[in-house]
Amino acid sequence: MPFVGRSFDKGFVYIGGGATWSRTRTNIKSLVGFADINGNHTDVSGAPVDFTASGWVSGGAGVIGGTYFFDPSWFLDFAYTYARTKNQTFDYSGTFTNPSGPSGTTTSGTLVGNSSGKVITQGVTVTINMAF
């Protein structure tokens, strides 16, 4: 991440920013397909199904911070970082057969859906350092 800063007598302040490339993963656990049949919510898909998806997504990050020198070898650094990815969507599809369908019938079909979201991270770092 490139930085730009300004130095002072006993330290400096800086800001920086750049692109990110992040791997995300979504887990959907125990998904069940329901239907409204004659006013009753009915499990039409049977046993719960799990879906998992992962992928890479771009984003950006920025940092602002400062460094203070106690003496030529000891210094304190403080930084705040904010990063955010673009919105990412995963699509899911899976067939099902439910032998215990409504009214004692066997129901079969396909569960379909998607999930979407972005990742936002923030961090504060404070370090005491010694140059040697």
Q: How far is CA 21 from CA 48, 62, 83, 86, in A?
A: 33, 14, 11, 10
Give the start-to-end residue ranges of the domains of the chain: 3-130
CA distances from 131 to 71, 72, 125, 128 (A): 10, 8, 18, 10
pLDDT band at 23 (very low <50, low <70, confident <90, very high): very high
Does the pLDDT at position 104 exceed 80?
no
Is 63 or 31 the better-scoring residue by pLDDT? Answer: 63
Q: Rounded to whole angstroms, how far apart are CA atoms 81 and 99?
A: 53
Cβ atoms of 47 and 90 within 8 Å: the answer is no
Select from 29, 44, 52 the least CA-distant residue to 110. Answer: 44
Burial 13-51 (b: 16+ CB within 10 A, else e): ebebeeebebebebeeeeeebeeeeeeeeebbbbeebeb
- Quick one: pLDDT at residue 73? 93
What whole-number percentage of the chain has pLDDT above 90?
64
The conformational region for residue 38 under phi > 0 = left, psi -120 to 50 = alpha, else beta, is left
Q: What integer best gives the mean pLDDT of the chain?
A: 91
